[in-house]
Amino acid sequence: MPTTTGTKPPSTLGQKSFQWLDDRFHIKALVDYMSDKSVPRHGRSIWYYFGGISLFLFIVQVVTGILLLMYYRPGADSAYESVRFIVSEVSFGWLIRALHSWSANLMIFAVFIHMFSVYFEYSYRKPRELTWVSGIVLFGLALTFGFSGYLLPWNELAFFATRVGTGMAGAVPVIGENLLVIMRGGEEVTGATIGRFFGLHVAILPAIFTVVLTAHLVFIQRQGMSEPIDWTDKPESEKKYIKFFPNFLLRDLLVWLIVLNILAVLAVFLPDGIGLIHWPLGTKADPFAPPPPVIRPEWYFMFAFQALKFLPAHLFGLEGELVGIGAFTLGGLIWALAPFLNTKAHRGKPSTPFTLFGILVLLFMIGMTIAGYILE
Amino acid sequence: MAEQKSRRDFLNLLLGGGTLATLGAILYPTIKYITPPASGEANVTQLKLAFKRSDIEADPKKAKTFKFGRDLGIILITDTGELRALAARCTHLDCTVQNRPDLGILWCACHNGRYDYSGRNISGPPPRPLEQFAVNVVGEDIFVSREKA
Ligand code: FES
């Protein structure tokens, strides 16, 4: 039976269309479900917006990425030329590339904030363990997006950053050699590597990302927004909420509009980026040329890059970078499994060791990043 | 009862084994497929360079890189006027090393790795020395070969 008992017969066109859809898909149940949800309101509510901002920037990535696809041609002889064609000949080509690059950087930044705020708020505690894990997977995929996209313009910087990045994979014990060959499509970074990274960047990653993102969003819709941990023992009367639908959603949209404006201003006035976040096309990659005096990865890989620079050749009888990769793997594992390891949070209590670990990770990342830019 | 159970065990084994076999049959060819065939030019032991000593001297870095089979090589002129050829791929994470005549070393820009002209890793992260190649000059031509053929 339709669920319209007790309401007036539809009159306007909007109500009629709604009725038509509702008869077929039971939309009303969905709207009711959403209006039931509420978002906790407190001093740190601002952090709730960063997940939505990441989502919005991802949508921008999809749209601008599809537009870039229309002119981009992968391959050692065509990649660089096609990007130059986009930015110099195609109408607004520079704008689309600038939007794609800016939005990529802002997205990673928003994702970092989102992840750290969830971590420090212990929002990953039961029942949101899998929401956290799917988020970590999305984070890894986002970094892989960045890494695979960096090579595509086939310029000098991209070429060497990719040699070193894939060289890191080659340092993994046992499977490293095979991994490196699979990633590069051969022993060297060549046109074959562009082909692989291109396929990864525009087909494989988007497909996997969309599936995991959907799961992540469905989890969040099922669970609602997490309440701060210090609310656990608060009487109901002292907790404040706002409705998710439409109040919070409208605020979300307003924030998206603001982000869109920031993005537009950055892309129009700084199409090549600025300072450390910089993507000039530069010169075409030449496999025989020595690397330029300053070679560096994107800012979000800088901390890892710099940490490897600091490591001596040998440590505890092992190769230095092996120790580094091992430490990163271990740290990442603890990070990803925090909801399962942090049993105190499940009982609604903050846990000092986990907070300290988070602060340590944050300080390490910031410290290494700063060192990386200063010491070059 | 006991017979029931063993039959179920058997079926489970069949089902589990079948699933594993199916996954294997999908994954094995896929991984093999994405591993590119080896390039044919692996065993180059000697190479005649496409440039002359004067070309190297003309280079501001007093060095040139060349492809040596699967490897990338670098040939340079030391301050005593000697020609030296070494592997150009940094043993750390695979950047290309470059000559620094001002420092008298081979230098990797990626993580500040340093090698002396006989390929020894003297500082920075590189864990191993660079392979040194033998250089033979016949008239104008420069031949580079691996030490052990
Ligand atoms: S790649 Fe040469 S020092 Fe790291």
Cα torsion angle, A275, A278, A283, A288, sign: positive
Length of chain B: 149
pLDDT at B148 over 70: no
Residue B55: what residue type? D
Nearest-10 crossing angle of helices A93-120, A49-69: 150
Q: Regarding predicted confidence, which is higher, A234 or B24?
A: B24
Q: Is the alpha carbon torsion for A277, A208, A305, A310 positive or negative?
A: positive
Ligand 1 center to B86 CA (angstroms): 16
Q: What is the mean pLDDT of each run of 10 residues along chain A (376 residues)?
A: 54 88 90 83 90 97 96 95 96 96 97 96 94 97 96 93 89 88 91 96 97 96 87 86 86 95 96 89 87 82 86 75 86 95 90 94 95 84
**Which residues from B are below 8 Å from A288, CB to CB?**
65-67, 72
Q: How far apart are CA A15 and CA B74, in angstroms?
A: 75
In chain A, which among 165-224 make CB contacts under 8 A with chain B? 166-168, 170-171, 178, 181-182, 185-188, 192
Mutation site, A168, A183, A194, A288, interface B, largest B CB count within 10 A: A288
pLDDT, one tens digit per residue, over A4-39 is 455 566 678 988 999 999 999 998 888 888 778 888
pLDDT at B19: 95
Q: Which long-range contacts (CB under 8 A, 24 or more apart) does A358-365 make?
A: A358/A116, A358/A119, A358/A120, A361/A331, A361/A335, A362/A116, A364/A303, A364/A307, A365/A303
So what's the pLDDT on residue A108?
Answer: 97
* pTM of the shown model: 0.87
What pairing do the DSSP bridges indicate for beta strands A314-315 and B71-77?
A: unpaired
Task: Tell me the three state secondary structure of residue A68.
Answer: helix
Provide the chain B residues 1-30 that lie in CB contact (below 8 A) with chain A: none
A286 close to A156: Cβ distance less than 8 angstroms:
yes
**Would an 8 Å CB–CB cutoff place B65 in contact with chain A?**
yes
| Chain B residues with beta carbon closer than 8 angstroms to that of A160 | 95-96, 110
Summarize pLDDT for B72-124 with one digit per residue, the tens: 899 998 888 889 999 998 988 888 899 998 888 999 888 888 999 999 999 88
Grade residue B42 by pLDDT with cuts at 50, 70 and 90. low
- B70–chain A Cβ distance below 8 A for any pair: yes
What are the residues facing B137 on neighbouring strands?
A: B142
pLDDT score recorded for residue B149 = 46
- Which pair of tokens denotes residue B132? 């040194």
Q: Which of A254, A270, A308 is nearest to A105 (CA)?
A: A270
Q: Ligand 1: list residues with CB < 6 Å.
A: A 164; B 90, 92-95, 108, 110-111, 113, 124-126
| Binary contact (A181, B39; C-beta < 8 A) | no
The pLDDT of residue B28 is above 70: yes
The closest alpha carbon to B140, from B34, B52, B30, belongs to B52
Give the pLDDT of residue A316.
75
Report the residue of A319, A323, A374 to disrupt the B interface, i.e. the one with the largest count of B CBs within 10 Å: A319
Average pLDDT along chain B:
86
pLDDT of residue B47: 83
